[in-house]
Amino acid sequence: MTDYVVKLRYYPGDALEEIKERNLKSLALKYGVQISYEKIENRQMKQGLLMENTLDKRIEDISQEVITVSGDREKKFADCIRALYKRYRCPRTVYSLLGSNEAGEKIAKSLMNIHGGW
Contact positions vs other proteins (CB under 8 A): 11-14, 16-17, 49, 51-52, 54-59, 62-64, 86, 92-95, 98, 113-115, 117-118
Q: Hey, what amino acid is at 107?
A: I
Q: Which is nearer to other proteins, 61 or 72 (CB)?
A: 61
Task: Work out how close the CB of 80 gets to other proteins at its nearest, in angstroms, rounded to a whole number.
Answer: 16
Task: Work out how close the CB of 45 gets to other proteins at its nearest, in angstroms, rounded to a whole number.
Answer: 12
Q: Which is nearer to other proteins, 22 or 58 (CB)?
A: 58
Distance separating alpha carbons of residues 41 and 66, to the nearest angstrom: 11
Q: Which is nearer to other proteins, 22 or 117 (CB)?
A: 117
DSSP tally for the chain: helices H, then strands E = 4, 5
List CB contacts of 70: < 8 A, sequence separation 6 or more.
Answer: 2, 4, 5, 6, 33, 34, 77, 104
